[in-house]
Chains A and B, each alone.
Chain A
């Protein structure tokens, strides 16, 4: 086969999901080619049909999904017409899969070795017990797990997310397939791990000339890893072509919005905008509400006063957990280790670090959801660790949290109106009438229509839910808002909206934010000060500008380098 023949050719693919009201289209006439050895990225928000397209190729559509039209030609064969047995022969052997969520993509009840070996056997790479074992060890070694012999005997829960994804990459590439579909392979991982994993995947596929379809919602990541991009929106391809060209010169309005909203690209974009003197980003698409440009966020954040007296002050705060072992004893684990920082009134302090660095524990200590082991936390000059029940209630009235998971932090049995009113009821603020007025007021502040009041959380989108969570936090007119990964679960466009909202509310109401995140790219557009945490300790503390321009510790540099797309120059 000549190099000019596409390996995979998707022609006018249509996919629909069967519902009570008939078929609802999810993919509407998608066409693209993948050449041998080429990496293409399909980019889009959740619900854009990018994952559905990928799953349709290997006929693994969930539940009621059906291919309703078009062709999937793989080396000239139409995969959509294959019988079940024929398809099972293609999967794994010809087309590998690297799944989205490493935490849930390995069967928790089987050993790692078992799951690698069954792949090897199913794809006929080895048959005798010894050969299968030998090949399994090779696969794990290629995947970058050094002590593969021992690893085979372990269970998935004994592996970190990054290690699991390495195993899954190993499984996906074990039979040296011609094409690999990598479905958001790192969206569940820390940024620094993400970079290592993707480097590794790139190394393996480049070495073997494997073609890759890379599915992601992160435009920066896509541009960094793929030669060609396919941008999807509402089941259609809105733009496709060479990655850098699209990034530097997006033509379709939706692509322009994506480029302007991607936080990983924001730093370059701000400089570019400064050079031309015009904000980029507020482009309207198909009657949707326009997003504010991130530039305004950055500007407003910068306006926040940094010389005001500290509202929050951590002094040598330490938290030790007791870890239970199998026996009668327990071992101590220091989650937060002598952490000190101050947050001036009206400003934003970002606590940055990987999972396990203790940043969320620090937030819980501030909220008094956990008791501190030693040290003091002062809020408005008062030591909160000493507070009695009444004083604690008063403290919580002026300090409200917003958590990461908008799906988990709203009670599914309460409608939105009751959810937002709950803190007002708990703290007995005003009467029924004024409470109702306050609910409407905050709803307006987070730009949600009054019609959502009677709705339930499952009827709202992720972005809307996070707005509800913010509205609930604002209901009591707090002075401090603790945002624990409050935008991490959101798509880029929604993320940009919520960040804008937070910055606006801060300048309007003079709020102080403690912003917990693992994503330095977001920090740049929202924070004034940054504290980088590693293994419970603060390793670097400075203003946002200093951290980005002149990182002092190797760990911070590592975090910065891990922001995808950081090296890609953008056209103005």
Chain B
């Protein structure tokens, strides 16, 4: 087990170098001069431009810039934005908010998704099942920003149940609506996966044996059907995490959540190379760690899994 985790962490190292390199080169290739962008409509003096380009190593060749940046990161310094802010500070400020939003979204998607999926799976072909299949299909087919705007308009403006945008300090109550939107897409997948998994598990001989040995339905469903059906659902959370990150960027922008996604969104618009690369690198590292954690959890959920190779 320990050996397995060590091995997986070691595998994360090439992932780290690969992803930073790809992101760095993609931002490098985006057209436009970031120094000029900093000044907006004003035209800076050529000396000013030269000085700034010198300061941010913009005149160096691509690989030199990449290695300079890598050196900084390995020392724990995520760099400064072109506006002079420390990326470390920005992340420290925005990360907790995003974490709360993501946590809320994961809870919503699991609780509602598993519950709806379980009922659908147990009553396959019934009215509840058909309605839930239709609704989840609708949600899956909709881009997340449409979902966000529609929810904002209906629940925030028309019904007034929630504040349409998140206020200062991002209180939990303000995060509920964006969290529901963020959870929406993954929830639809969780419903469908749980449903399929429950149907498959229910056909196993051990479920019939569980009834045969005298257990009641109230015990067989949670202990023998739901418990086993959660294995694919949990492992899929790892893949869903990517969708969650993309969704967070869009949702935070629309609901004005002061989180990492929002910050990243702004940085991309500014063409702020150090900030973009740093934030995405952090997200990649989080993604790798979440995947390792879920793979380890997989072994806890399913004792047949042994970590070899």
A residues with a Cβ closer than 8 A to B are: 55, 58, 60, 62, 84-85, 88-89, 91-93, 96-97, 99-101, 104-110, 118-119, 122-123, 155, 157, 168, 171-172, 174-175, 324-328
CB pair A109 B213 closer than 8 Å: no
Please indicate the chain A residues that have their CB under 8 angstroms from the CB of B227 in the complex: 107, 109-110
Please indicate the chain B residues that have their CB under 8 angstroms from the CB of A327 in the complex: 3
How far does the alpha carbon of A99 sit from the alpha carbon of B212 in the complex, in Å?
Answer: 9
CB pair B206 A106 closer than 8 Å: yes
> Given A99-B208, A99-B212, A326-B308, are A84 and B303 also a contact pair (CB < 8 Å)?
no
Please indicate the chain B residues that have their CB under 8 angstroms from the CB of A101 in the complex: 205
Please indicate the chain A residues that have their CB under 8 angstroms from the CB of B214 in the complex: 88-89, 91-93, 119, 122-123, 175
Please indicate the chain B residues that have their CB under 8 angstroms from the CB of A88 in the complex: 211, 214-217
Interface residues of B in 88-112 (CB under 8 A from A): none
Shortest 9 CB-CB distances between A and B: which pairs?
Answer: A92-B214, A97-B212, A104-B205, A105-B205, A324-B308, A105-B209, A107-B206, A155-B303, A119-B213
CB pair A100 B205 closer than 8 Å: yes
CB pair A326 B231 closer than 8 Å: no
- Closest Cβ of chain B to A116, distance in Å, is 9
User: Binding site of B, secondary structure by majority: helix, strand, loop or mixed?
Assistant: helix
A-B contact pairs, 30 of them (CB 8 A): A60-B208, A60-B211, A84-B217, A88-B211, A88-B214, A88-B215, A91-B211, A92-B214, A97-B209, A99-B205, A99-B212, A101-B205, A104-B205, A104-B206, A105-B205, A106-B206, A109-B227, A109-B304, A110-B227, A118-B219, A119-B213, A119-B215, A122-B213, A122-B215, A122-B216, A122-B219, A155-B303, A157-B303, A326-B306, A326-B307
Please indicate the chain B residues that have their CB under 8 angstroms from the CB of A122 in the complex: 213-216, 219
The residue of chain B having its C-beta at the shortest distance from the C-beta of A64 within the complex is B125
- Closest Cβ of chain B to A83, distance in Å, is 12
CB pair A58 B228 closer than 8 Å: no
> Given A109-B302, A122-B214, are A326 and B3 also a contact pair (CB < 8 Å)?
yes
How far does the alpha carbon of A157 sit from the alpha carbon of B306 in the complex, in Å?
Answer: 11
Q: Is B139 positioned at the interface, with any CB of A under 8 Å from its CB? A: no
Please indicate the chain A residues that have their CB under 8 angstroms from the CB of B1 in the complex: 326
Among B204, B214, B224, B228, the one with the most A-chain Cβ atoms within 10 Å of its Cβ is B214
CB pair B308 A325 closer than 8 Å: yes
CB pair A99 B209 closer than 8 Å: yes
The residue of chain B having its C-beta at the shortest distance from the C-beta of A108 within the complex is B304
Q: Is B309 positioned at the interface, with any CB of A under 8 Å from its CB? A: yes
- Closest Cβ of chain A to B259, distance in Å, is 37
Please indicate the chain B residues that have their CB under 8 angstroms from the CB of A171 in the complex: 209, 213
Question: Assuming A60-B211, A91-B211, what are 5 further A-B pairs, CB within 8 angstroms?
Answer: A105-B206, A108-B303, A109-B304, A110-B227, A122-B213
Please indicate the chain B residues that have their CB under 8 angstroms from the CB of A96 in the complex: 212-213
Please indicate the chain B residues that have their CB under 8 angstroms from the CB of A91 in the complex: 211-214
How far does the alpha carbon of A328 sit from the alpha carbon of B216 in the complex, in Å?
Answer: 45
Give the total of B residues in contact with A, Cβ under 8 Å: 31
How far does the alpha carbon of A324 sit from the alpha carbon of B307 in the complex, in Å?
Answer: 10
How far does the alpha carbon of A118 sit from the alpha carbon of B215 in the complex, in Å?
Answer: 8
How far does the alpha carbon of A99 sit from the alpha carbon of B1 in the complex, in Å?
Answer: 35
How far does the alpha carbon of A21 sit from the alpha carbon of B9 in the complex, in Å?
Answer: 57
Q: 1/0 per residue B223-240: CB within 8 Å of A?
A: 110011001000000000
CB pair A109 B215 closer than 8 Å: no
Q: Is B210 positioned at the interface, with any CB of A under 8 Å from its CB? A: yes
Please indicate the chain A residues that have their CB under 8 angstroms from the CB of B304 in the complex: 108-109, 155, 157
How far does the alpha carbon of A107 sit from the alpha carbon of B301 in the complex, in Å?
Answer: 12
Please indicate the chain B residues that have their CB under 8 angstroms from the CB of A109 in the complex: 227-228, 231, 301-304
Please indicate the chain A residues that have their CB under 8 angstroms from the CB of B223 in the complex: 110, 118
CB pair A172 B213 closer than 8 Å: yes
> Given A60-B212, A118-B215, are A104 and B303 also a contact pair (CB < 8 Å)?
no
The residue of chain A having its C-beta at the shortest distance from the C-beta of B7 within the complex is A328
- Closest Cβ of chain A to B212, distance in Å, is 3
CB pair A58 B303 closer than 8 Å: no
Please indicate the chain A residues that have their CB under 8 angstroms from the CB of B301 in the complex: 109
How far does the alpha carbon of A465 sit from the alpha carbon of B254 in the complex, in Å?
Answer: 59
How far does the alpha carbon of A326 sit from the alpha carbon of B6 in the complex, in Å?
Answer: 13
Q: 1/0 per residue B272-309: CB within 8 Å of A?
A: 00000000000000000000000000000111101111
- Closest Cβ of chain B to A94, distance in Å, is 9
The residue of chain B having its C-beta at the shortest distance from the C-beta of A154 within the complex is B303
CB pair A104 B3 closer than 8 Å: no
- Closest Cβ of chain A to B185, distance in Å, is 29
How far does the alpha carbon of A242 sit from the alpha carbon of B214 in the complex, in Å?
Answer: 32
- Closest Cβ of chain A to B18, distance in Å, is 25
The residue of chain A having its C-beta at the shortest distance from the C-beta of B216 within the complex is A88
Among A88, A93, A157, A172, the one with the most B-chain Cβ atoms within 10 Å of its Cβ is A88
The residue of chain A having its C-beta at the shortest distance from the C-beta of B206 within the complex is A107
- Closest Cβ of chain B to A92, distance in Å, is 2
- Closest Cβ of chain A to B109, distance in Å, is 23
Please indicate the chain B residues that have their CB under 8 angstroms from the CB of A155 in the complex: 303-304
- Closest Cβ of chain A to B219, distance in Å, is 7
- Closest Cβ of chain A to B192, distance in Å, is 21
> Given A109-B302, A324-B308, are A92 and B215 also a contact pair (CB < 8 Å)?
yes
Please indicate the chain A residues that have their CB under 8 angstroms from the CB of B213 in the complex: 91-92, 96-97, 119, 122-123, 171-172, 174
Q: 1/0 per residue B1-39: CB within 8 Å of A?
A: 101100000000000000000000000000000000000
Interchain CB contact (< 8 A) of B302 among A108, A168, A174:
A108
> Given A155-B304, A326-B1, A328-B3, are A104 and B212 also a contact pair (CB < 8 Å)?
no
- Closest Cβ of chain A to B197, distance in Å, is 13
Please indicate the chain B residues that have their CB under 8 angstroms from the CB of A325 in the complex: 308
- Closest Cβ of chain B to A156, distance in Å, is 9
How far does the alpha carbon of A84 sit from the alpha carbon of B211 in the complex, in Å?
Answer: 11
The residue of chain B having its C-beta at the shortest distance from the C-beta of A101 within the complex is B205
Please indicate the chain A residues that have their CB under 8 angstroms from the CB of B204 in the complex: 104
Interface residues of B in 157-196 (CB under 8 A from A): none
How far does the alpha carbon of A559 sit from the alpha carbon of B33 in the complex, in Å?
Answer: 83
- Closest Cβ of chain A to B270, distance in Å, is 48
The residue of chain A having its C-beta at the shortest distance from the C-beta of B201 within the complex is A107
How far does the alpha carbon of A171 sit from the alpha carbon of B213 in the complex, in Å?
Answer: 7
The residue of chain A having its C-beta at the shortest distance from the C-beta of B230 within the complex is A109
Please indicate the chain B residues that have their CB under 8 angstroms from the CB of A110 in the complex: 223-224, 227
